[in-house]
Structure formats: C-alpha cells, structure tokens
Amino acid sequence: MHSGTTTIQDPKNPEHVKTFTFDLAYWSHSGFQMDKDGVFISADPNSKFASQSDVFHDLGRAVLDSAWQGYNATLLAYGQTGSGKSYSMMGSGANKGLVPRVCEELFQATETQERNQEHQTPLKGTLSVIEADVFGVNTNKVTFSMLEIYNEQVRDLLSRTKKPGGLKVREDQQLGFYVEGLTSVPCENYVQIERLMEQGTKIRTTASTSMNASSSRSHMVITIQFKQSAPPLLPRAPTAPPSTEPRLPAASPSTPATCCLNPSLPAEQSAHSRAEHGLRTDQLTWAHQLEQAREEWRQHYVAIAQERQMMKTVPHLLNVNEDPQLTGVLKHFLQADFRPLGLLSYQLLQSEALLTIPAPQPPTPNPLGTRALGAVCRDRIILGSNSAYLYVGFPWERGGEDLSRFDYDFFQLERAAAEGVSVDQLGAGDRGEGKADPSVLVVFQDYVKLMPLVAEANQMSEELKKPTGPQGPQTNIPSQIVLQGGLSGYLGGFYVTKKPLGTRDPITRKLIRDFITPELKMELKVKNLASSDSRGCDLQKEVMVKVTNQRTHEVWIWSKAKFINRKFLMEELYQRFLDGEDSHVVQEDDPFWDPVQVVHLGSAHIWLQPLAYCMKFEEQAEFLNCDGLEEAVLHIHITPCSPAGRACGEEDVVIDPLELLGKRMDFQIRIVRCLGAKWLKEDAERGIQMGYRIYNLPYTLYTKPVWKIMNPQIEESVQFTALNASQEFLNYLQTNALIVDLWGLQEGCTELSCSQLDLLVTDEGHIMVDTKKISTVIDIGQTASAQMSELYLKLLRLEQETGMLRSINRALSEENVLLKESLEKTGSGQRAHQPSSTLKITGMTAPSPAARELDQACTQRASYDREFAKALKGFYQSMNVARGKFLKLRCHKPPEDDQMLRPFVHQQSQMLKDFGELLESSLWKLKNDVALIVKKKRECLLHSE
C-alpha cells in the first residue's frame, strides 16, 4: 500500500498484479507498538501504520464539521466479515473507534460553545438565554438510538422488550426513512453515550446468544441526533422535536451521525405524534425527559459501581462470543452460596434451570446427591452451540492471568480438541519442517468454525421438525427431571426442574432432542480432492456437510457455501417458530429439504502402467470414501487387444513403451463387478453406478444403473483406440491412474448418463482416445479465421514434435540394427552385409548353424525381456495394494473411547507391520527377479559370443 494506491499480487501467479486507487487507504498490519494505556501507536516516525486517531482525523472530523453546519452525515462501514468494521467504528479497549471519538468531540465542542455563549457571544447569548430559561442547561440537544438489523428485522437495542417481527421502517415525505417506535435517549455528556453503547451491546449479545445469531450477518445502526440552537435572525424551517428519525438537511439542522439501552430510560416518542406541537411544548417535553433521564442515570451509575465491585469479589461467568466486540459483555454473578445459580438469563437456562457450582470450601453436601462439580477458575462452560462462558472464580483463585486469551478461537480449538479433531487427523499436518500444510490449516479452521454451526443446524432441525417419537411430540414430561451431563458442558453441569414444563420450554425441547430420534442428521466431512486426482497427488481438501434423513435414508452432500446459506434460512424459520408464528413451509422453500441426488461414495485408483507395456491386468481395487475407508471393492479388467478385440498375449508385451509410439493401440476396460458396497448394505432399496474418464476424454462414461442388488455383476466393456499413440499418452499411462467413481443412487434421483454423441469413434465403433491432433484438425474446420493462425501454429508445433519423436525412434531402431549386425558378425564370422532389421527376416534367409544359434539366443533374449516385463507387472500390482494400504493407514482414526485405545494401537502397529512387510517383500521379489533375468541374459550373451 502506498498512500491511496493498493497493489495486489496473485501469490500463485506472480505476474498477475492489480492496482486499485482509493481516496484514502490505511495500513495497520505492522509498524506499531502499544503505549502504556494500551493504545496502538506508530513504532517509529517512518512507519506507515495508521492508528484509530489517524482514521478519526481523516473521517470523523469531516462528519462532525458537516454536523455543525447542519448537514446529515453518515459513516458506513462495509466489508467482509473480520475485515475490521466494528474495530474501525466502535474500537476495541483503549483503541476507541470513530463513533466514541465523534461523540466525545461533539460534547467537548458543545461545552466550549456554551461557555463562549455564556460569556461573550451576544447573538448566540440571546438564544441561550431564552432556552436556558426553559431548560436551565445547555442549548444543544443530543439524543442517541441504536438498532440492529438481523434477518431483515429491526431490533431496538435500547429496549429489552423484543417486538415480534421487529420494528417497522417507514418513509415520510418530509422526514425520509425512519424506524417507528425506536427508543431515543437524551444525553448530556459523552459518558452517558458510552453507557448507552455498552447497554446496547449487552442486549445485542444476549440476542445473539439466545438466537444463535451470528454477528457477521447482523448490521448495527447508531443514530445520534444533534440539534443545535440556531441564531433567531437566521431564517429556518419550523423545528420538529428531537427524535430518532433522520431529517432532511433542509428541514432542520439536526444531524444523525451514524454511529443502544435500558427500557427504564425515558424514550422519545415518534416525531409524528408531536409534530403539530409548538416550540415551547417541545422544549418543555424535552426538559421533562431530560430530568427523568437524570434520575435514571443516577441509578444506573450506582448499578455500574456495584457491578464493578462484584466483579472484583464474586465468582462469575463471562460470555465469550464469536464477535470480539460482544465478548465479556454479559456477566452472570454466582450467588453467595453458589447453589442454586438462577441468574442466567440465557434462554436455555431460564429461571427454573439450575446450574450448581458448589462452594469449594467446605464442599457442601449436594441435596440432590449428584456429584460435586468443583468448578475451578478459568473453567470453560459451553451451553448449547453458541453460548460459551468463562468461569471467573474466587479472588484468591484468580492470579494475575490475562483472561483475554480465552477468546472465541480458544474455545473453538478446545472444543475441536475435545471432539478429537486436529490438524494431524485431517491429514498432512506436518510437512516435515514442523510446519503444517497451509491448505490443511485452512480446512481445519473451516472445520472448527463449522462444527458449532452444524450442531446448531441439527438442533434447529430437531426442534422444527416436531419429531414424532413413540408418543409423538406430546411426550409426557415427568414433573421432576435431573439431566446429567448438561447440553455439552466441560463442567458436567446438570439441569433440575421442579415443575411441569410446556412443550415450548427450553428444557422440554432438550428432552425431545434427547429422547426422540431426529429426522435429519448433518455431519461434517472432509473431502480429499486427492481421490479425484489421477496421480493421487495430495491436492487440497475441502469441508462439506453430509445430510442424512434417518427415516427415509436419503442422503445429500452440501458444500460449505450451500450449508452456510441454508443455515441462515434455517435460522429465519427457527425464529418464526420461536416467535410462535407458523413455521410450516412448502417443500421447495424448506431449508432442510433438497431434491434427492446421486451421491458420490468413493473413488478407486487403477494404475495404468501395465497398459504402457501392452500387458493385460485384472485388479480388485478398493473404493475409498472421503474418510479414507473402504466403501466397496471394484473388479476391473484392462486388456490390450487387437482392433478386432482379440486380447493380446504375452508375446505382445513391449519392453519399452516407446515401442508403441505412433502405433495404433487398442484396449478394453471391463468393469466386472462391485462388491460389498456399504451404501447398498444400509438400505436395500438403493442402487449404484460407476463412472470413469480416461485420458482426455471429454465425458465420463457411466455403467448402467443397478438397483437393489447387493453385489451386482456389471460386466460392461468399452473398447478404446489410440490411432497414433502419442508420447504424452504413453507418459500418461505410465504415471497416472484411472479413477473409477462409485455413485450412490437413491429413490427419486436422476440416474447418471453420458451423451456419447460428441465422442470420436473408429469405424469399429471404439471410442478414440489420444485424439489431440485429430480434434485440432476438426477444430480448424470449425473455428473462425481469427483463431485459425493460432491453431495452425499449434498444429505445426505438434507436427514438429511428432517429427522429432519419429527421428528419435528411427535413430533408436538403427542403433538396434547395428547392434544386431555386429552380434551376427561376431557369431558367424560372415562378412556379408545383412540388410535385415528384424528377427523374422533373419529367419527367412537360409541360416547358417551359427546364425541359428544366434537366432535362438535372440529369441531367448526376447523371452527374458518378457520375463522382465512380467516381473515389473507383478511389482506394479503389489505397489497398488501397498498404495491402498497406505491410504487406509493414513485415514485410520484413533477412537474417542480411551478403553479402545489399546486395541487401536495394536491394530495400527499390525497394519504398519503388514505395510512394511509388503513393501519389503515386493521390492525383494523385484530385485530377485531382475537379478535372475540379468544373470540368464549374461549367460546367454556369453554363450552367443
């Protein structure tokens, strides 16, 4: 960043650079230090670090100046979640943001102006006298309001009573847009505004906690109405009384500078209801309201002082929220005897819910006979999926530790660890240098972030679907219940209730959750993209959500983005349900529903090296699912053959794949059967299909769908032809695997099919592969002249490459001929020139005994080569098995149950042992085979010499 210019470079593509120019741009990533008050300041005079005060200087001042001139001014922060909107607007700790700074400065300026008015300014003095008569205080009026928009509903953050459906936004011809019935509080100084913001934040936090609302989807609007007294000589429009509604600049010199409270504080009424009143009534009302507010303020200050005192001495719970601005905002003090704790206003723990934290000394006998929980300072309590608290114990337990490290991320990681999720477990955690693979870290972060969201989605689904258990939703709730274990609770909290509960009661809802099987189950999965890479490269992984309808067995796979979108829709629906509104939706609008689709179950890798040696191979490959576990077993045959489809024999095996270069290659892929598919075991009504794509085929070829058969015999063959095998194709065969995907079919889904129309086929009807050159020619016929030259160039380059390959080939065969000739010469002593270049031709000439011997030797040598190829084939096959074992090993997860750890470790070491042995034995076998062949070959050569 250089002043207003920001340059962005694509890390993967360094030449991709984009430059953007802004009016103002700030750097705050580096070059700063903290002063003694905790304020971030520039580390040195050359640092480009922009502090909160720099931002205020550039932006806040301008807003204030406009306000003083009578204009409406708005500060709007817009951007991606986590980009620093709240930080810039509100600030964090000592680093105050724009809103507090604007307010502070506003009051400072007001006070200065008033002092000046009292002492000197005659014109303004006149006005201040008149108004001072009425108010007895300053002449400027400031009111404050704070609202939140969440799920398109407006909520008053200065009122504890939530209006179902939210407040209404209205438009007035004169006043423009305004929120009807929004609380607006008169303020006389900055401290009051600070308190109002604190209170508003509390209400916002409580709402976010009880609704499981994510702050990243909520928008906050703070409005400060600033009404100056104008000199009487200046013409001005009749003034409406102070209210929250934004004004048009011409109507009144009042300023809602965009930047929440206690219902007990006096709220202003709508401007409409009093618009017709005169100036004096307005002023009297204002004076009255102000007076009332001052009473209220006094009480408020006492309460705050009490709270501060209690924080020092009394154990309490502090909330921890995803939004750092909302963390530590709620404090729940624990009663003196720590039993019962009935103070949690959190929805799930209403007054009848008791969470017991016994006093540590002496341990009080628990009246319910349940075990003492023994909470220790800094214990974490997680209630539900969105409500996290830090337990701050007795003063003597606290020590001097900075509690700010227990932030949302800390809770998330701890929770992940408790559920056994770690970077290592997600795979490739350590790349050897002690550093985790960044892509795995990203997946881990996604996973950890999504975990509570998935848990919430599950809870909402369970409640909304009104599950029909054995006794339906009207389950008879016993009048006294002790639920052990709490909602999750590292403290192992429990809930006690002594009176019958209604079905909308949180505890009843928990009971329903616990005792009646929910319909939908959402689970987080990590998809390993390596399974769709034909080289098995460890590509990135991605998080997805598997949704299962446990009743119908329908399965859906949702991407992260889809899940997040659905989650917001679920929240909307859930809110309607909580508000007592009709939460029934038609199927198409149901966020929990989707049309059924085929589901990707797993992939099998079949390495294609043998084909490059013209060797037939039969494989039993495992379909591995996203957890790396066996989903089914595939039987597949890949057979090189003649154009007529006759399978090649051992005599056709080549020693060097280059021998196939430029030649016609035909082969058959035969999917024989699929064994033991878990998908079919789970539900007999289901079906499967398999699909694969070889080399650069533009389409995936699918087998026919098979339904309701456990181990279906597929027996589908497709013949492929490479008319002119290219180097690239041969390289592909040597280094890549054919990926066969297994797809799960479920009732009502659309089966997979492939339009083979665009596939190139030979006269025999074989599908053509390795058709680059052919398709380029075809393309040329079809493309516009502008693209022609480019294509011709490509074609030319291809021709050149092919030419080069041909000459390499020629050189190689010539060398071969020379070698053979020199061999013959040594063997027979004949000087005659033999033009023959192949064994067959040699065989056709009248052979001398020595030549016969040589012929024999050569035939023998060819058979050694075949043996060598065979040995290689065996090795490749065992390597395939080893690869499968390795994948399985990598995905083998430790059990959650400690007791199972020993058998797990035993099994793991057995698997490792097997794996090691397999590797050893295959290598040993290959070495032995090769040594034997080399020995035989040497003997043969010696003999022929």
According to the annotation, is 580 in a ligand binding site? no
81 binds ligand ATP (CB under 6 A): yes
According to the annotation, is 703 in a ligand binding site? no
Q: How far apart (Å, rounded) are the C-alpha atoms in residues 566 and 464? A: 14
CB of 627 to ligand ATP, least distance (A): 32
83 binds ligand ATP (CB under 6 A): yes
Helix ranges (H only) for 516-556 are none
Site string for ligand ATP, 432-471 (x = CB under 6 A): ----------------------------------------
CB of 461 to ligand ATP, least distance (A): 25
CB of 322 to ligand ATP, least distance (A): 8
CB of 289 to ligand ATP, least distance (A): 33
> CB of 512 within 8 A of CB of 544?
no
Is 216 or 856 the residue whose CB approaches ligand ATP more closely? 216
CB of 55 to ligand ATP, least distance (A): 8
Of positions 74, 92, 475, 863, contacts ligand ATP by CB under 6 A: 92
Is 221 or 624 the residue whose CB approaches ligand ATP more closely? 221
For residue 314, the tally of other CB atoms under 10 A from its CB is: 17
According to the annotation, is 913 in a ligand binding site? no
Q: DSSP per residue over 738-807, as a string?
A: EEEEEEEE-TTPPPP---GGGS-B-TT-PEE-S-HHHHHHHHHHHS-HHHHHHHHHHHHHHHHHHHHHHH
Distances (CA, A) of 232 to 123, 127, 131, 229: 8, 7, 11, 9
246 binds ligand ATP (CB under 6 A): no
> CB of 908 within 8 A of CB of 868?
no
Conformational region of residue 96, where left means phi above 0, alpha means psi within -120 to 50, and beta covers everything else: beta
Provide CB contacts within 8 A for 667, sequence distance 6+: 611, 638, 639, 640, 641, 719, 720
Cis peptide before 362 (omega within 30 of 0): yes
Is 85 or 300 the residue whose CB approaches ligand ATP more closely? 85
Is 445 or 597 the residue whose CB approaches ligand ATP more closely? 445
328 binds ligand ATP (CB under 6 A): no
47 binds ligand ATP (CB under 6 A): no
Is 98 or 722 the residue whose CB approaches ligand ATP more closely? 98
Which of these ranges, 77-85, 115-123, 623-631, 741-749, lies near ligand ATP under the rule CB under 6 A?
A: 77-85
Is 149 or 629 the residue whose CB approaches ligand ATP more closely? 149
> CB of 428 within 8 A of CB of 440?
yes
Site for ligand ATP in 4-33 (CB under 6 A): 28
Is 28 or 292 the residue whose CB approaches ligand ATP more closely? 28
Least Cα distance to 72 among 63, 81, 84, 80 occurs for 63
According to the annotation, is 273 in a ligand binding site? no
Which of these ranges, 81-89, 104-112, 514-522, 810-818, lies near ligand ATP under the rule CB under 6 A?
A: 81-89
Site for ligand ATP in 267-326 (CB under 6 A): 323-324
Residue 318 tokens, joined: 């502090």
- Would you call 835 helix, strand, or coil by DSSP? coil
Of positions 9, 24, 43, 82, contacts ligand ATP by CB under 6 A: 82
The size of the interface with ligand ATP (CB under 6 A), counted in residues, is 14
Which of these ranges, 75-83, 413-421, 578-586, 744-752, lies near ligand ATP under the rule CB under 6 A?
A: 75-83
Which of these ranges, 80-88, 312-320, 368-376, 813-821, lies near ligand ATP under the rule CB under 6 A?
A: 80-88
Identity at 538, one-letter amino acid code: D
Provide CB contacts within 8 A for 275, sequence distance 6+: 240, 241
Least Cα distance to 605 among 650, 565, 636 occurs for 636
Is 219 or 236 the residue whose CB approaches ligand ATP more closely? 219
Place of tokens 């090649």: 648
CB of 179 to ligand ATP, least distance (A): 21
Distances (CA, A) of 340 to 191, 368, 478, 487: 36, 12, 21, 18
Radius of gyration of the chain (CA): 39
Backbone angles phi, psi at 733, to 5 degrees: -60, -35
820 binds ligand ATP (CB under 6 A): no
Of positions 14, 45, 79, 470, contacts ligand ATP by CB under 6 A: 79
Helix ranges (H only) for 175-233 are 190-210
According to the annotation, is 145 in a ligand binding site? no
Q: How far apart (Å, rounded) are the C-alpha atoms in residues 545 and 554? A: 14
Please state the length of the chain: 945
258 binds ligand ATP (CB under 6 A): no
Of positions 72, 86, 289, 703, contacts ligand ATP by CB under 6 A: 86
Site for ligand ATP in 209-238 (CB under 6 A): 215-216
Identity at 352, one-letter amino acid code: E
Q: What is the dihedral of CA 794, 800, 803, 804, to 10 degrees?
A: -120
CB of 215 to ligand ATP, least distance (A): 5
According to the annotation, is 79 in a ligand binding site? yes
Q: How far apart (Å, rounded) are the C-alpha atoms in residues 609 and 312? A: 73
Site for ligand ATP in 703-742 (CB under 6 A): none
Closest-CB residue for ligand ATP?
A: 84
Provide CB contacts within 8 A for 635, sequence distance 6+: 618, 619, 620, 671, 672, 673, 674, 675
Which of these ranges, 86-94, 312-320, 645-653, 794-802, lies near ligand ATP under the rule CB under 6 A?
A: 86-94
Of positions 31, 84, 340, 492, contacts ligand ATP by CB under 6 A: 84
Residue 572 burial by Cβ neighbours in a 10 Å radius (0-12, 13-18, 19+): middle
Which of these ranges, 78-86, 120-128, 183-191, 916-924, lies near ligand ATP under the rule CB under 6 A?
A: 78-86
Of positions 87, 297, 692, 743, contacts ligand ATP by CB under 6 A: 87
Is 78 or 396 the residue whose CB approaches ligand ATP more closely? 78
Q: DSSP per residue over 869-935, as a string?
A: HHHHHHHHHHHHHHHHHHHHHHH-PPPSSGGGHHHHHHHHHHHHHHHHHHHHHHHHHHHHHHHHHHH
204 binds ligand ATP (CB under 6 A): no
> CB of 759 within 8 A of CB of 699?
yes
Is 51 or 347 the residue whose CB approaches ligand ATP more closely? 51
Is 88 or 625 the residue whose CB approaches ligand ATP more closely? 88
Is 324 or 506 the residue whose CB approaches ligand ATP more closely? 324
Backbone angles phi, psi at 793, to 5 degrees: -60, -45
Q: How far apart (Å, rounded) are the C-alpha atoms in residues 673 and 270? A: 75
Is 81 or 309 the residue whose CB approaches ligand ATP more closely? 81
Is 81 or 335 the residue whose CB approaches ligand ATP more closely? 81
According to the annotation, is 82 in a ligand binding site? yes
In the DSSP assignment, the letter for residue 49 is B
Site for ligand ATP in 860-879 (CB under 6 A): none
Q: How far apart (Å, rounded) are the C-alpha atoms in residues 11 and 439? A: 14
Which of these ranges, 82-90, 171-179, 860-868, 919-927, lies near ligand ATP under the rule CB under 6 A?
A: 82-90
91 binds ligand ATP (CB under 6 A): no
According to the annotation, is 85 in a ligand binding site? yes
Is 28 or 439 the residue whose CB approaches ligand ATP more closely? 28
Q: Indicate the annotated binding residues for ATP.
A: 79-86
Q: Indicate the annotated binding residues.
A: 79-86
Q: Which residues bind ligand ATP (CB under 6 A)?
A: 28, 79, 81-87, 92, 215-216, 323-324
